[in-house]
Structure 1
Amino acid sequence: MKNTAITKDVQSRLTPNSVLKDLLNGNERFVNGNLEGADNAALVQQTTGGQFPKAVVLSCIDSRVPVETVLDQAIGDIFVARVAGNFENTDILGSLEYSCKVAGSKLVLVLGHEACGAVKAACDGVELGNITHLLSNIAPAVKKSADEVEGEANSSNAEFVAKTVENNVKLTIDRIREKSPILKEMEDKGEISIVGAVYSLQTGKVEMI
Structure 2
Amino acid sequence: MEFACKLAGTKLLVVLGHTACGAVKGACDDAKLGKLTGMLAKIKPAVNAVTSPEDASLRNSGNLEFVNNVAEQNVLLTIDKILKDSAVLAEMHNSGEIKIVGAMYNVHSGAVTFI
* Common fold: TM-score over 0.5: yes
Query: In the alignment, which residue of structure 2 is the partner of 1:97?
Result: 2
Distance 2:81 2:7 in 1: 21
1:149 correspondence with 2:53 = yes
> Is 2:106 the partner of 1:192?
no
Q: Does 2:26 correspond to 1:121? A: yes
Q: State yes or no: 1:135 paired with 2:36.
A: no
- Distance in 2 separating the partners of 1:98 and 1:206: 26
Q: Report deviation, 1:204.
A: 0.5
Deviation at 1:159, TM superposition (A): 1.4
Measure how far apart 1:102 and its partner are.
Answer: 1.9
* Per-residue deviation, 1:98: 1.5
Structure ranking higher in helix proportion: 2
The C-alpha deviation readout for 1:122-176, integer Å capped at 9, x for no partner, is: 101111111110111101001111x233441110111110110110001111111
Contact kept, 8 Å, 1:110 with 1:196, in 2: the verdict is yes
Which residue identity lines up with residue 3 of structure 2 in the other structure?
Answer: Y
What's the secondary structure of 1:196's corresponding residue? strand
Taking only the aligned residue pairs, the percentage that are identical comes to 51
State how far apart, in whole Å, the 2-side matches of 1:164 and 1:99 are: 28
Report the aligned-residue RMSD: 1.0
Structure 1 regions of 5+ residues with no counterpart? 1-95
Residues 38-187 of structure 1 mapped to structure 2, 5 A cutoff: 96-145=1-50, 147-151=51-55, 152-187=58-93
The Cα of 1:103 is off from its aligned counterpart by 1.3
Aligned equivalents of 1:171, 1:149: Cα separation in 2: 19
Moved over 4 A (4+): none
TM-score (norm 2): 0.94
- The structure, 1 or 2, with the larger RCO (C-alpha pairs under 8 Å, 6+ apart) is 2
From the CA coordinates, give the structure whose radius of gyration is larger: 1
